[in-house]
Chain A
């Protein structure tokens, strides 16, 4: 929480102003009881009606002044608090945009989203509460004590006794309640988990006729939660009555001891009036402050999560002097590349060497976890390698600027990601200044034109967030079109045809072939049928190259390749027999 204060800098002066205004406002609120005491002592006791009127007028002015201060304070307070939120949000977003995939893996996307959205809102909200509501509380306490002592120092001893009692009572109750609140949250999460499982697994549950069982499981968790919730609320039930009692009893004590002092002539009767008010203000202020102590830990947890993100320096940065490769086009070369995911015991890829040239199709095949996707994600430098070199057009990727490097590549990911916006905007994501014809041509090649023109607004049809309104196959085709429109030197298809039906797949592959004639193509595939025609096939097995060559050579030389082929392609062979 405190660490985040560094972003308060631009608002330093405003913050001071808010504090000054809060002080003035507290002063006004505290001054009113003093004036009442004056009315009693100088007006009522002496029967001076004129004095009463004058003081009343003064009170009105003080009240107005206090209100103006409060409103102006709220204005600046709101701006500071939301402004701080804005700054933090901006910082964290910009930082995250710099992150490489490594940092994303480390923090998880979901967690980064929560930190950017929820946690910043949480912190901002706390600042709103602090600056708009709580800021006067400590001043009221301190000011109240000062004025109380000024009115009558001896009577102020009552406050010395009462304040710790109040704070102690709150602390006692909350120290018992807060751990239970946490337990309650866990129970609630558990209940929600069961509910969620019940929804996602509804078919399985019913198929196994286990509805009763699920109901019992839910009921158990429900009862569990109810028990804890009742316990928590019963503990908290004591909070208000105790606080009220403390407040009321201190009022009684003030009157009693005040009376004695008034009788002894040590104090004026009006002071009792003022004193009662001060006591209320102070104790109320204490209440506010203790609430803040309950609220702060939550916000602090959010602040910590934000700081965690800000503390991560993006791992991949451009070299101080970049060497942009302009002499060649479309040459990819891996020289003895070894790469491990951070924290992993074994490298994900070991000693990978190969090269690909324009006009060639290089396919990468292997089982799950063999490192296929990892290999292609090294080409756009999503990760930095442990050892070896990756050369694009003869230059090590670490020497190029990331922008220049990635401009050479048309990347089609395994999981097609689209952004909200129209279809043509999505395709143009690959090349911002693409002409209408270029967009259409890309869609044609990607076999997307047909379904696009079936949509109501054609290319202007809007894709919902996350691409909810298009099917998996359509998403893939659009994501392919997006790469095509770029007309890159190097195409990377990371298992990007999986959601297409066979016919579309075949047509698309045929059209692609023409389109990518002079480009370098890398295809990650699961199915042998996809890769058989490739100029070179890289067979990966647990991060190692288990063979490089074309289909025919590999059938002779690579054990792993043969294994894959026989496990998958028995049908193909049979098919050939029939055909």
Chain B
């Protein structure tokens, strides 16, 4: 589901042609980082390897902008000369003298110089954008890589404690945000500052008096922007909330459609939607209206300056205290003056939210990692498969231990059955054996060696895992089986598939081993998935197995196949079986009874029955269901 939604979100056109901040971004609520300065500092470090490229960007931005903004001033020279020529002509005409020609040579020279300047400016601007593309993307590349590397060093505890969506959102949305900012806002920041400074300087050189007039409009525009932005942020927040509630309702009603229908509540659902939709509309149009007012008002302030400059400038030209070309240039500057101010205000917000994103990524990068591997890590030569728990103490939370003093002794080749109600904590067992979690006390040994003495990879390779929640990735069946061992040959893969009873069904698929499993792997059945994971385990050829017996979601025939394949796989290996069938349990060398995450009883079938505890209870209710039922009735 998430995949589809992601794919359909056109917003994903990161740094698309219009980018962001352009349309209607004004007055939206901004997310702020908790520690702006610290985050910024850390963020800037990422620029260090690219400092020369950045210098190029900076230089090109400054030069490009400068050449561009001197344009009007130079153009003004040509206008002035033209105007002077005209006045001269006019005066000569009045005095009936021969009209002097307009100095076209001068004008042509000026315009040619100007043309040159504009071309150079364009080239610099292109260079700036071009180089920045590399800088921005390379930096995001590095950041993404760091996140990925970090993720592979984080303990399982981290992944279990957080919803996947949250981690994804940091690695995807926040990264996207940073990338767009780097690509667009950073150069915009430079050019805006240069433009602002440059325009002010140029205006001052033309006429301090007119400059004062223009600068006086500044507080007005600030007032407008800030006042409205505040109000519109409120409305946007309300709109966002209303949208969130409405989307929640839609999601709920659609996913529960069957229930809505079954209980005949369509009308109620529609009525509720109507209310939510109305709320959204009320907040929505206000938000759009208020933020939509900002632009015209800013334009008005701009026009105000424009009118004043036109009038005052016009009078000054008549007095002869200023050249007309300068007034013309001034008008253009006055118009350019407000633009960098608004974009700076915008960029300030963008930078805030970018830092908030960066902060979230840094938080992820700062998560505590797995305990480093022992320096003189031991190598398991030819593993035998003996497993011992010695006084193991373990709990997911410090204050509630699931195991206080667990002792288990498993000889090579033995079969251990793990029984208990669903969700009783079989994952805990996997977590400890594979050292996904660290024990709080005591130790677990494999072939007599404390598992913390091994390299993690080494340890985990001695285990094979065939769980019910099969994990297959988006790739061919061959690749999915080959996942069991690096560098497996085609022949080995097929042999593994045959051993797992999977070869036959794979060959009936139109593409055989090349069949690509789709994202949710819905193109093969649950049982077939399990067969593939068994094949994977065959290929990996581990000494110790952790298996999940198939339950209800598999049809009878496949279940038999899985059963056979598993039996084959277990042959001669130490195995921990999460058992559902009595035959398995009865054959087990040891039964571990789990409930609520802890091992509450252990022993053989007979021992446990004789004990008359939880296991006996469970056994009676599960396997002779009717007796209990009759009792209850």
Is the pairing of A and B real? Answer: yes
- A residues in contact with B13, CB < 8 Å: 181, 184-185, 298
A334 contacts B by Cβ under 8 Å: no
Inter-chain contact B79/A43, CB cutoff 8 Å: no
Chain B's closest residue to A211 (CB) is B152
Query: Does residue B626 face the partner (Cβ distance < 8 Å to A)?
Result: yes
Q: Are B473 and A241 in contact (CB under 8 A)?
A: no
Q: How far is it, in angstroms, between the C-alpha of A533 and the C-alpha of B630 when the chains are bound?
A: 11
Q: Which chain B residue lies CB-closest to A417?
A: B256
- Do A262 and B82 contact each other (CB < 8 Å), given the known contacts A193-B474, A208-B540, A420-B248? yes
* A223, CB-defined interface residue at 8 Å: yes
Q: Mark A174-195, 1 if CB is under 8 A from B, else 0.
A: 1001100100110011011101
Q: What are the residues of chain A within 8 A of B118 when measuring CB–CB?
A: 244-245, 248-249, 252
**Is the CB–CB distance between A510 and B632 below 8 Å?**
yes
Contact between A255 and B75, CB atoms less than 8 A apart: yes
User: What are 28 A-B interface contacts by the 8 Å CB criterion?
Assistant: A39-B310, A40-B324, A44-B317, A64-B300, A66-B303, A67-B299, A82-B284, A109-B254, A177-B17, A181-B13, A195-B172, A197-B473, A198-B148, A203-B430, A203-B471, A208-B484, A215-B149, A218-B145, A233-B137, A241-B126, A255-B79, A263-B86, A368-B554, A382-B258, A407-B264, A482-B263, A507-B632, A510-B632
Are A184 and B292 in contact (CB-based, < 8 A)? no
CB-CB contacts below 8 Å: B108-167 with A: 108, 111, 114-115, 118-119, 121-123, 125-126, 129-130, 132-134, 136-138, 140-141, 144-145, 148-149, 151-152, 156, 159, 164, 167
Chain A positions within 8 Å of B263 at CB level? 406, 411, 429-430, 482, 486
Residues A459-509 near B (CB distance < 8 A): 465-466, 471-473, 479, 482, 486, 498-499, 501-503, 506-507, 509
User: Does B259 belong to the interface (CB within 8 Å)?
Assistant: yes
Contact B168 A192 (CB under 8 A): yes
For B293, what are the chain A residues with a Cβ–Cβ distance below 8 Å? 71, 74
Closest 6 CB pairs of A and B: A571-B582, A237-B129, A70-B296, A367-B555, A56-B311, A233-B133
User: Closest chain B residue to A409 by CB distance?
Assistant: B262
- Known contacts A70-B299, A409-B262; decide if A114 and B4 are in contact (CB<8 Å): yes
Q: Tell me whether A122 and B10 are in contact (CB under 8 A).
A: yes
Whether B14 pairs with A184 at a CB distance below 8 angstroms is yes
Are B556 and A564 within 8 A (Cβ)?
yes
> In the assembly, what is the distance between CA of A419 and CA of B262, in Å?
14
B540 to chain A, nearest CB (A): 6
Q: Nearest Cβ distance between residue B567 and chain A, in whole angstroms? A: 14
B111 touches A255 (CB 8 A): yes
Residues of A within 8 A of B122 (CB): 241-242, 244-245
Task: Tell me the complex Cα distance, A302–B8, Å.
Answer: 9
Q: Does the CB pair B621–A506 fall under 8 Å? A: yes
Which one of A40, A189, A259 lies within 8 Å of B78 (CB-CB)? A259
| Also in contact, A263 and B156, with CB within 8 A (given A197-B473, A466-B255) | no
Interfacial chain A residues near B262, Cβ < 8 Å = 380, 382, 406, 409, 411, 413
Whether the Cβ atoms of B311 and A52 lie closer than 8 Å is yes
CB-CB under 8 A from B396, the residues of chain A are none
Residues B1-42 near A (CB distance < 8 A): 1-10, 12-18, 23-24
CB contacts (< 8 Å) of A263 on chain B: these are 85-86, 101-102, 104
Q: Let me know if A112 and B625 touch, CB within 8 A.
A: no
Task: Give the secondary structure class of B's interface.
Answer: helix
Tell me whether B8 and A114 are in contact (CB under 8 A): yes
A126-134, A322-330, A342-350, A388-396 - the one binding chain B = A126-134
A208/B256 contact (C-beta < 8 A), A181-B13, A203-B471, A241-B122 known:
no
B277→A90 contact, CB < 8 A: yes
Known contacts A133-B295, A197-B473, A79 near B102 by CB under 8 Å: no
CB distance B108 to A501 under 8 Å?
no
Cβ of B505 under 8 Å from chain A: no
Q: B183: CB under 8 A from chain A? A: yes
Q: Is B525 an interface residue (CB 8 A)?
A: yes
Interface 1/0s, chain B 235-250, versus A by CB < 8 A?
Answer: 0000000010011101
Interface of A is mostly: helix
Name the residue on A nearest B163 (C-beta): A468
Q: Does B46 contact A (CB under 8 A)?
A: no
Residues from chain B with a CB closer than 8 A to the CB of A199 are 151, 159, 164, 167-168
Cα of A509 to Cα of B628 in the assembled complex, Å: 11
Q: Which residue of chain B lies nearest to A411 when distances are taken between CB atoms in the complex?
A: B262
Write out the residue numbers on chain B whose beta carbons fall within 8 Å of the beta carbon of A124.
284
A402 to B115, CA, bound (A): 76
Complex Cα spacing A81 to B618, Å: 62
Which one of B130, B151, B465, B527 lies within 8 Å of A234 (CB-CB)?
Answer: B130
> Which residues of B have CB within 8 Å of A129?
23-24
Q: How far is the CA of A232 from the CA of B527 in the complex (A)?
A: 44
Measured in the bound complex, the distance between the Cα atoms of B153 and A215 in whole Å is: 11
**Shortest beta-carbon distance from B461 to chain A in Å:** 5
The answer to whether the Cβ of A513 comes within 8 Å of any Cβ in the partner chain is yes
B552 & A245 in contact (Cβ 8 Å cutoff): no
B17/A567 in contact, CB under 8 A: no
Do A527 and B552 have beta carbons less than 8 Å apart?
yes
The residue that B556 contacts in the complex, of A77, A86, A174, A567, with Cβ under 8 A, is A567
- Tell me if A226 and B137 are in contact (CB < 8 A): yes
Q: Which chain B residue has the least Cβ–Cβ distance from A499?
A: B422
Rounded to whole angstroms, the CA-CA distance of A111 and B284 in the bound complex is 24
CB-contact partner of B618 in A249, A420, A502, under 8 A = A502
| A5, CB-defined interface residue at 8 Å | no
At the interface with chain A, which of B201-209, B268-276, B356-364? B268-276
A570→B582 contact, CB < 8 A: yes
| Interface size range on B against A | 35 or more
In the complex the two chains form, what is the Cα distance from A262 to B84 in whole Å?
12
Q: Of the candidates A196, A229, A301, A506, which one forms a contact with B632 in the assembled complex, judged by CB atoms under 8 Å apart? A: A506
Nearest CB in chain B: distance from A215 CB, A: 6
B172 CB to nearest A CB, Å: 5
Q: Are B18 and A295 in contact (CB under 8 A)?
A: yes
Expressed in whole angstroms, the minimum distance between the Cβ of A75 and any Cβ of chain B is 5
B456 is an interface residue with CB less than 8 A from chain A: yes
Q: Does A360 contact B (CB under 8 A)?
A: no
Known: A100-B261, A251-B71. 9 other contacts (CB 8 A): A45-B86, A70-B299, A74-B292, A86-B280, A174-B17, A214-B152, A219-B148, A417-B258, A526-B552
| Cβ A420 vs Cβ B252 within 8 A | yes
Q: Which residues of B contact A430 (CB under 8 A)?
A: 263
A279-316 with Cβ < 8 A to chain B: 291, 294-295, 298, 301-302, 305
User: Could you say which of A91-99, A137-145, A150-158, A159-167 contacts chain B?
Assistant: A91-99
Write the chain A residue with the least CB distance to B239.
A82
The interface residues of chain A lying within 8 Å CB-to-CB of B471 are: 200-201, 203-204
Chain B 301-328 interface residues, beta-carbon cutoff 8 Å to A: 303-304, 306-308, 310-311, 314-315, 317-318, 324, 328
Q: State in angstroms the CA–CA spacing of A192 and B554 once bound together.
A: 31
Closest-CB distance, B142 to chain A (whole angstroms): 9
Given known pairs A74-B289, A110-B1, A571-B581, the reply for A294 and B17 (CB within 8 Å) is: yes
A367 to B560, CA, bound (A): 12
CA distance A199 to B168 in the complex (A): 9
Are A208 and B483 in contact (CB-based, < 8 A)? Answer: yes
Roughly how many angstroms separate A78 CA and B119 CA in the complex, as a whole number?
A: 41
The answer to whether B152 and A502 touch across the interface, beta carbons within 8 angstroms, is: no
0/1 interface trace, chain B 169-186, chain A, CB 8 Å (1 if under)? 001100000010001000
Residues 218-236 of chain A, each 1 if its beta carbon lies under 8 Å from chain B, else 0: 1100110110011011101
Whether A67 contacts B324 by the Cβ 8 Å rule is no
Interface residue B390 (Cβ < 8 Å from any Cβ of A): no
Q: Which residues of the other chain, B, contact A200 by a CB distance below 8 angstroms? A: 164, 471
A45 in contact with B277 (CB, 8 Å): no
Tell which of B111, B171, B246 touches A252, judged by Cβ atoms closer than 8 Å. Answer: B111
Cβ of A446 within 8 Å of any chain B Cβ, yes or no, is: no
Interface contact B107-A256, CB-CB below 8 Å: yes
Residues from chain A with Cβ under 8 Å of B115 in the complex: 249, 252
CB of B278 closer than 8 Å to a CB of A: yes
Q: Give the contacting residue for B256; candidates A197, A229, A245, A419; CB below 8 A.
A: A419
How far does the alpha carbon of A529 sit from the alpha carbon of B622 in the complex, in Å? 9
